[in-house]
Structures are given as C-alpha cells and as structure tokens.
C-alpha cells in the first residue's frame, strides 16, 4: 500500500516533533490566567485576542502592541495555527472545500457554503468517527482521534482568512463536518465559547448550529450550558426498529429516551430543535414513514430538515425520486410540521461529509 510520508512516519512510530499547543485552544479567561501566572496583566489577553481573531495574524512577532519579552514568551509556549491547506476546491455554486493536514499527518475537511443570508462554515470535530451510521462516509475506518478545541477554531480562522481576500465574513457555523461533536464534548464547548466571544470571532450563538447523532447524556448537559446555540438531531427514522437499522447508536440510546432528552432540551432552553431526516430510497422515505414521523413529533417545538441522500460509493443507499421527496414534505406539512428540504452545495466537489477525505486519504479511512 502506498503511503504519504506523514502516514508512513505515523505507522513506523518515528519520533515526531510535537508542535507547541495552539493558542486557539484557550478561552479568553484561560489566556488571562496564563498571563497572570506569567507575571503579566490580564488585559493583554484582549489584545492578543484582537490580534488572533480581529487581525488574524499568524506570528506572535506581529503583535506589536505587546512588549517584546511577552511576544517571545508566547512564541515559546504556543503555536498559532497547526493546519496546513492541502486541497482547496471551489465549486460552481461558490462552495469551497478545504482539506487540511494536522500536525500528525491526519487530514480533516472544512466546507464554506454560500447562502443568501451569508457565509456558513461546516467544521469537523474528530478525525473519523466511531458512531457507525450505516449511510455515512465519515465513519468508514472508525475514529482516529479527537480534535483539540484550537484545531476546530483554526478551521474557522482559515476560512475567514480566505474570505478576507474579498472582504467577506464568516456569518455562521455548522458543526456538521466529520465526527460526532458530543463525543468530543469538552473541546466542542470550548470551541463554541471561543468563536462566540465578542473579542473572538464574535459569531452569534444563534448563528451556530450543533448536530448530534444522539448521545443522550450530553444532550442533557448541553441543555444546561445556557447557550443560545441552534441544536439539531440526526433522526433519520420515525421508529426505534428502523432507526437501529440505520444508526447503531440507537441500541445504546433508543428513540423513546432520545425524545425524552429532546423534550427536556426544549423545556430548559425554550428553543426549537431541528430534526435532520435523510431520505434513503425505499428505506425510510415512504408516506407511512412520514405519517409515523408526524405522530412522533406532534406538538413538539421543532423543525424537520429533509436531506436527499448523498451517494457514498461504499454504501448501498439510493436517492428518493424528487416527486416522492415533495410528497413526503407535503405529508408532514399537512400535520402542521415545519419542514424544509436541504439545499445541496458543492455537488461537483465531493462536499458531502467525509467524501473528500475518503477520496484523498484512502489509507486513513480504511
């Protein structure tokens, strides 16, 4: 099997120089604590945040309003970005897909999508995934490792830097890339606090969406965080039997318990949840499924996002014909359910979850 240098290095266990921890992993409060512990004034943290997220410099030497000694101290303790762009593909519809290499040679995907309401970035939270959904490319090959908070933050900064060239701004974030965000919970929460902070990237909580396959204990924890983040659940089936066939996580966290957790979330936060429902031809896309789904969601403060299946060569699912997608939508509407059909982005550039990484980095996804 042919391997890239980094993959070869990893598998032979050859000693690698570990990079310094990324400063992007630090919340503003943690940075203040670090400064105080190093004999500095806490207000320097805000200045550093301004350089990192406002001016987006990538070298401590450029932080010219900091004393030289502090700049050197920072440079000996932290790195800034650890992501290297290895592929950048632009689609006809303006979608840009990035493949980034991490310091240890693994690669991750990040996607910039253009909407009429702004620019949205889809970030990755793990290298691979261990949830095992039967339709998903990201889980082929399992989980390699969690991302650090700073590695998630860096994806947004890198995309913002690309947008700086045309004086545009990242206006929203969806945590819907590779990985299960609730399986890397602490890094996720840190990431959310850093990008949301007014001195950080200042992306409003209501412009950030987190999606989970349904790790129930984390749904309760997330409800209690007191953040105004949009929340989505990958539902994909209206009954527990069918959901188990599509998503093995349903064995550990079955649908009735999941719905209980969702009710708690809605009650606690007062916020509406989104249910993602992938339409897999002949599997979960019949009118009887729409009826069952309407029954399941009756009276819930929610919204359903229908996702036409993305074809994954390793998987057998086929697309639902368009007229049937519309019929499914109509059936839900008839019951008063809020429903939309997901617009597709970057169809010509493998923009669906895990596809680019799977293609470019075969050895990682086997």
Alpha-carbon distances of 123 from 139, 351, 362, rounded to whole Å: 16, 12, 21
- Catalytic: 353? yes
- Catalytic: 30? no
Write down the catalytic residue from 40, 101, 109, 148: 109
Give the three-state DSSP class for 275.
strand
Write down the catalytic residue from 148, 151, 353, 364: 353
What residues make contact with ligand SAH under the rule CB under 6 A? Answer: 133, 135-136, 176, 180, 211-213, 234, 276, 278, 307, 309-310, 312, 353
SS3 per residue for 139-171: CCCCEEEECCHHHHHHHHHHHHHHHHCCCCCEE
- Residue by residue, DSSP assigns 184-251 as GHHHHHHHHHHHHSTTTT---GGGEEEEES--HHHHHHHHTT----EEEEE---SSHHHHHHH-THHH
Query: Is 302 one of the annotated binding-site residues?
Result: no
Query: Is 287 one of the annotated binding-site residues?
Result: no
- CB within 8 A of 328, min separation 6: which ones? 279, 285, 287, 289, 290, 306, 320
Min separation Cβ 340 and ligand SAH, Å:
14
Cβ-contact 16, 104 below 8 angstroms: yes
Min separation Cβ 245 and ligand SAH, Å:
14
Indicate the residue among 157 and 176 with the shorter CB distance to ligand SAH: 176
Query: Is 136 one of the annotated binding-site residues?
Result: yes
Query: Is 196 one of the annotated binding-site residues?
Result: no
Query: Is 122 one of the annotated binding-site residues?
Result: no
Closest CA to 273 of 330, 344, 222, 343: 222
Indicate the residue among 291 and 344 with the shorter CB distance to ligand SAH: 344
Annotated binding site for S-adenosyl-L-methionine: 179-180, 211, 234-236, 310
Q: Return the active site residues.
A: 109, 353
Mark the binding-site residues, compressed into ranges: 129, 133, 136, 179-180, 211, 234-236, 310
Residue numbers belonging to the annotated binding site for [4Fe-4S] cluster: 129, 133, 136
């Amino acid at each position: 099997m042919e391997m890239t240098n980094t993959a070869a290095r990893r598998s032979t266990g050859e000693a690698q120089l570990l990079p310094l921890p990324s400063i992007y992993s630090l919340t503003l409060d943690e940075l203040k604590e670090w400064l105080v512990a190093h004999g500095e004034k806490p207000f320097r943290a805000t200045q550093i945040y301004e350089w990192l997220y406002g001016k987006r410099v990538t070298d401590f030497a450029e932080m010219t309003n900091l004393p030289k000694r502090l700049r050197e101290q920072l440079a000996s303790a932290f790195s800034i970005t650890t992501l290297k762009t290895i592929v950048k593909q632009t689609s006809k519809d303006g979608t840009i897909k990035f493949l980034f290499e991490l310091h240890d040679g693994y690669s991750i995907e990040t996607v910039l999508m253009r909407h009429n309401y702004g620019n949205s970035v889809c970030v990755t939270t793990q290298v691979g995934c261990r949830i095992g959904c039967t339709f998903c490319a990201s889980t082929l090959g399992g989980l390699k490792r969690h991302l650090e908070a700073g590695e998630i933050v860096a994806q947004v900064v890198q995309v913002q830097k690309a947008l700086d060239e045309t004086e545009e701004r990242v206006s929203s974030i969806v945590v819907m890339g590779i990985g299960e965000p609730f399986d890397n919970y602490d890094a996720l929460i840190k990431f959310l606090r850093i990008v949301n902070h007014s001195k950080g990237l200042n992306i409003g909580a209501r412009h950030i969406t987190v999606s989970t396959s349904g790790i129930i204990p984390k749904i309760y924890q997330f409800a209690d965080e007191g953040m105004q983040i949009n929340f989505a659940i990958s539902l994909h089936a209206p009954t527990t039997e069918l959901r188990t066939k599509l998503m093995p996580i349903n064995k550990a966290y079955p649908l009735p318990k999941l719905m209980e957790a969702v009710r708690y979330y809605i009650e606690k936060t007062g916020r509406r949840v989104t249910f993602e429902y992938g339409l897999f031809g002949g599997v979960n896309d019949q009118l009887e499924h729409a009826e069952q789904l309407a029954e399941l969601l009756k009276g819930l403060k929610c919204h359903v996002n229908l996702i036409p299946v993305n074809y994954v060569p390793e998987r057998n699912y086929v697309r639902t014909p368009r007229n049937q997608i519309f019929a499914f939508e109509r059936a839900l509407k008839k019951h008063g359910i809020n429903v939309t059909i997901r617009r597709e982005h970057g169809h010509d550039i493998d923009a669906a979850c895990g596809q680019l990484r799977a293609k470019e980095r075969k050895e990682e996804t086997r």
